[in-house]
Amino acid sequence: MTLSLTVSGQQFIAGRRVASGEATLPSLRAADNQPTGYRFYPASREEAAAAAVAAGQAFPIYSQTSPEVRARFLDTLADELDLLGEDFFAIAHQETALPLPRLQGERARTSHQLRMFAGLLRRGDAFGVRIDTALPARQPLPRPDLRQYLTALGPVAIFGASNFPLAFSTAGGDTASALAAGCPVVVKAHPGHMATAELTARAIARAVEKSALPAGVFNMIFGTDIGAELVRHPAIQAVGFTGSLRGGKALWQIAQQRPRPIPVFAEMSAINPLIILPQALASRAETLAKELVASFTLGCGQFCTKPGLILALRGEGFSRFTQALKDAVNPAPAQTMLNAPTLAHYEEDVRALEAHPDIQRLAGADEFISGRAQARLYQAPASLLLAQDPLLQHEVFGPLAVLVEVADEAELQSILRALQGQLTATVHAESDDGPLAQRLLPALSEKAGRVLFNGYPTGVEVCDAMVHGGPWPATTDARGTSVGTQSIERFLRPVCLQNVPAALLPPAVQDANPLNLLRLINGQWTREAVSPSVD
Amino acid sequence: MTLSLTVSGQQFIAGRRVASGEATLPSLRAADNQPTGYRFYPASREEAAAAAVAAGQAFPIYSQTSPEVRARFLDTLADELDLLGEDFFAIAHQETALPLPRLQGERARTSHQLRMFAGLLRRGDAFGVRIDTALPARQPLPRPDLRQYLTALGPVAIFGASNFPLAFSTAGGDTASALAAGCPVVVKAHPGHMATAELTARAIARAVEKSALPAGVFNMIFGTDIGAELVRHPAIQAVGFTGSLRGGKALWQIAQQRPRPIPVFAEMSAINPLIILPQALASRAETLAKELVASFTLGCGQFCTKPGLILALRGEGFSRFTQALKDAVNPAPAQTMLNAPTLAHYEEDVRALEAHPDIQRLAGADEFISGRAQARLYQAPASLLLAQDPLLQHEVFGPLAVLVEVADEAELQSILRALQGQLTATVHAESDDGPLAQRLLPALSEKAGRVLFNGYPTGVEVCDAMVHGGPWPATTDARGTSVGTQSIERFLRPVCLQNVPAALLPPAVQDANPLNLLRLINGQWTREAVSPSVD
């Protein structure tokens, strides 16, 4: 492929392309770890600071824009993404090895996501307006007029994911929800797909310009070690991150050590237990095995929601299930991973499993193939999970799962208690399994952000009801989600206006309700205008 | 006063009174720092752990109770508090020096607060239900059935405040909101009012028993250094705290260093700037001065929302205002503080202000009166605020304020940018000040959880619209409030159920909507039952 694209490799700071020093960061092909030919300038400390300052300077204007202005901007941005052509997909494929149809689907998901937030802003759900009107004659003290609404938290630093170069990266869910909330962003481009990031960033910059918004609403820097600098900058007020436990935790600790700490919403690590109850195992062992292997090897196992731990209850069907799993894993073709470091991590994790005296490989090769990842299946005793062996709680990013045979319900409940927080937990059950499933549901809801039945966790729907989150170490804040409309709440905070004169009130809390919001007024949800309360 | 009350001084663990060792913690009279005669057992590490474990064991049952069961429990608890009699107020007065009418008012506020959460549970606002029904024929992929609701976070450790022995302590807002959310609690009794805490805890224990709930729903331990042990315990999943920046930050850091970090909602420190705009100053300098001194000396200045920084714009009225402030401060009587350490801190802060070369005392004594706190007024140049001098950003807990003369709007805006996060910000303005006030509002909303006009920040209404929170160091999480119905959200997290069979769904997300909740179904807010969506 010739270098047909214009890729400057420079930082995006307040609408300008900026660089200093040398373009020492090569974009690499996933397939062979060789340069694509595009090179990027690592941001200097000064450039990282300038990007944060640019976002800070855009904040007072951007955070006060009307929801309709922001909705139109997000629609424009979605349109710009939809215009990205073959060249874009070609380079994204080179950088990530993700197949074209997958990348095209991800682009559709990403622009859908932006339009969904535009719709949310127009629907007006994200203002959280609560009004308690004055009670001047109340005894012993009058009640003042109190009006609460949600306002933007401040500039957000965003660290995209390696495995979703569109939907969880430069223009992904964190960016979309922060921009919808009224927060300017500074993206730290993922080193695994920098050319893809640059082309996406240019689409965003065009949308900012077309929308006549302050250029500092969007900024992006390149680099490998510059993220900490960004998180430390006083203008940054929150962080969105999707990636490894090690990476997320490091940024989170930096954020906590600032003179003024800030929240970090990091989606980090999960093994996504999948539990098979007795009747399900007995009645569809072979189908389950086949579907499950397809799920944990899908996209080379590079999903945050990959089911990495299979808990099957002892009983009729277990040996058929195990055999069918082996039969499906052994012929699974080796796949190219996202990049060389990801493959190296996968091989490191495989070595650790192979070296563990109590863990046994059931299927998959015992040697590595150069440059590609092969599917593997291991088995571990339940006692190891109960002992909270760290290796079993560790997410292996790649086409691998661990099977555990569970003696009975009591052991299963103990295992659930021993598990760390998860993005998802899955149950396979038939109707006779219902009572047992019901008894498991509270423990599963306590451990995971999403609990699903008779399916596989790798599809994450973009909608109102989705929770892509969960207790530590799945995320740093179990009270959030990074997918779906609710993710906007991470970047909003409540403000209460007390006895503020009507002429000064922002539209969301004005008596006449010009934005037609559903508001909680004196304890009642209504779209009506405010009428003065009678004491 | 004779020791007429039965106070055992033992821990409250799962409905039992437990103690080991010696009762070495004396309850002290605020007035003279002498023992009241009641003594308390400092909790051992084992007892702190047992309290956390008790809360953890109560969690699976309590978190699954219906909202009506929890509402009745909170009502019962409010009734028990209302039954506390003269003995209770007498010891609370001894321990805190707070006047009886104030304590009676605080009790009323505390039981009102509990009943408000009962009402919230019955209103059903706190479930946050979002349902996206299945679209089996959607292309390219079907949409599963997705149902999100909010569930209890887990057992909560609560650290009450010295200055509100009822409303922000054992049965205060953190306890009420955690219990309403379905979270069992472990309270660490404040050492400044341990007998008050014991009598309150007994009222709670009676309510737990009358409501036939697991005894571990409420636990309380005594001690001075045992809080860290509690925060470190793996059963504890969140922390509520009201107190000093030093104390809140210490617990917060401990929580972040756990193998599994947990959220800490600490309300810590604010200087609550009060800004007087030119026309307000010109037209009511004397009234403003008198009211303001009454506000910052109210209750010996021991409110989190005490206005500690007065920013008045240079102009007509400033010298009259200053003179009137002096005239009001100088005759203000010395008052007894909550306890000896609080008085010592106040005197330490006064010494630091006296020692600062650029800060000048305008009114109040230059010597200390033994055992009591005198009101003081200082003046500092605007340049000191702009230089972010730490002394001016430090909350002085006591009857003291600092006056700063501000040259013009530009300087005022710069000062607002230089300020740290605040619980409140107040503006005094007349109609001619309107345009200036409007230009200030965004910056004020950025810095404070509550912005109020033409009033004083010390009253914090308990209602839906209140925000008692704000950016660091006002709190550890600007996205929360510790007063009002919204405070329940701190102790809830979302869970999404995907394709869970109808028979297993919890009531909040069942098709028929048995709790009559307002729910977001396929993008529409409704109390209707779920009807299957048409592709």
Domain ranges for chain A: 12-268+483-489, 273-453
Residue B533 clears pLDDT 70, i.e. is over it: no
Q: Give me the phi and psi of B16, to 5 degrees please.
A: -110, 155
| Closest Cα in chain B to A131 | B465
pLDDT in tens, B19-65: 999 999 999 999 999 999 999 999 999 999 999 999 999 999 999 99
The answer to whether B304 is a known catalytic residue is yes
Q: Which fold has domain B273-453?
A: Aldehyde Dehydrogenase; Chain A, domain 2 (3.40.309)
Catalytic residue among A304, A395, A405, A411: A304
pLDDT in tens, B413-469: 999 999 999 999 999 999 999 999 999 999 999 999 999 999 999 999 999 999 999
Q: Which fold has domain B12-268+483-489?
A: Aldehyde Dehydrogenase; Chain A, domain 1 (3.40.605)
Interface check B472 vs A, CB under 8 A: yes
Beta-carbon separation of B141 and A466 below 8 A: no
Residue B44, SS3? coil
Beta-carbon separation of A499 and B452 below 8 A: yes
Of B261, B454, B481, which has the smallest distance from its Cβ to A494's Cβ? Answer: B481
Give the pLDDT mean for A462-488. Answer: 97
Interface check A518 vs B, CB under 8 A: yes
pLDDT in tens, A14-63: 999 999 999 999 999 999 999 999 999 999 999 999 999 999 999 999 99
- The whole-number pLDDT of residue B279 equals 97
Q: Which ipTM did the prediction report? A: 0.97
Interface check B445 vs A, CB under 8 A: yes
pLDDT in tens, A127-136: 999 999 999 9
Interface check B369 vs A, CB under 8 A: no
- The whole-number pLDDT of residue A338 equals 95
pLDDT in tens, A268-277: 999 999 999 9
Interface check B474 vs A, CB under 8 A: no
Residue A151 clears pLDDT 90, i.e. is over it: yes
- The whole-number pLDDT of residue B4 equals 64
pLDDT in tens, B293-327: 999 999 999 999 999 999 999 988 999 999 999 99
| Closest Cα in chain B to A448 | B495
Interface check B103 vs A, CB under 8 A: no
Residue B534 clears pLDDT 90, i.e. is over it: no
- Nearest-neighbour CA in chain A from B271: distance (Å): 16
pLDDT in tens, A339-365: 999 999 999 999 999 999 999 999 998
Residue A286 clears pLDDT 80, i.e. is over it: yes
Band of the pLDDT at A1, cuts 50, 70, 90?
very low
CB A445 within 8 A of CB B470: no
- The whole-number pLDDT of residue A26 equals 97
Residue B1 clears pLDDT 50, i.e. is over it: no
Give the pLDDT mean for A317-328. Answer: 97
* Averaged pLDDT score across all residues of chain B: 96
> Which residues of chain B are within 8 Å of residue A496 when distances are taken between CB atoms?
449-451, 465-467
Picking from A260, A496, A500, A519 by the largest number of B CB atoms within 10 A of its own CB, the best residue to mutate is A496
With a CB cutoff of 8 Å and minimum separation 6, the contacts of A398 are: A300, A301, A302, A337, A342, A345, A346, A349, A350, A373
Q: Compute CA distances A15 → A50, A214, A215, A219, B288, whole Å.
A: 12, 9, 5, 8, 47
Q: Compute CA distances B297 → B328, B333, B400, whole Å.
A: 10, 9, 7
Beta-carbon separation of A132 and B60 below 8 A: no
> What's the order of all strands across the beta sheet hosting B130-132?
A360-363, A376-380, A400-406, A309-313, A273-276, A422-428, A448-453, B492-498, B146-152, B130-132, B519-521, B524-526
Catalytic residue among B47, B106, B300, B304: B304
**Amino acid, single-letter form, for residue B271:** I
State yes or no: cis peptide before B140, omega within 30 of 0: yes
Beta-carbon separation of A141 and B459 below 8 A: yes
Give the pLDDT mean for B325-338. Answer: 96
pLDDT in tens, A88-113: 999 999 999 999 999 999 999 999 99
- The whole-number pLDDT of residue A6 equals 84
- Nearest-neighbour CA in chain A from B120: distance (Å): 9
The CA distance from A277 to A275, in Å, is 6
Band of the pLDDT at B6, cuts 50, 70, 90?
confident
- Nearest-neighbour CA in chain A from B86: distance (Å): 21
**Amino acid, single-letter form, for residue A351:** R
The CA distance from B325 to B327, in Å, is 5
Using a pLDDT cut of 70, give the percent of chain B over it: 99
Which H or E run includes A219? strand A218-221
Give the pLDDT mean for B193-222. Answer: 98
| Closest Cα in chain A to B518 | A525
- The whole-number pLDDT of residue B531 equals 86
pLDDT in tens, B102-115: 999 999 999 999 99
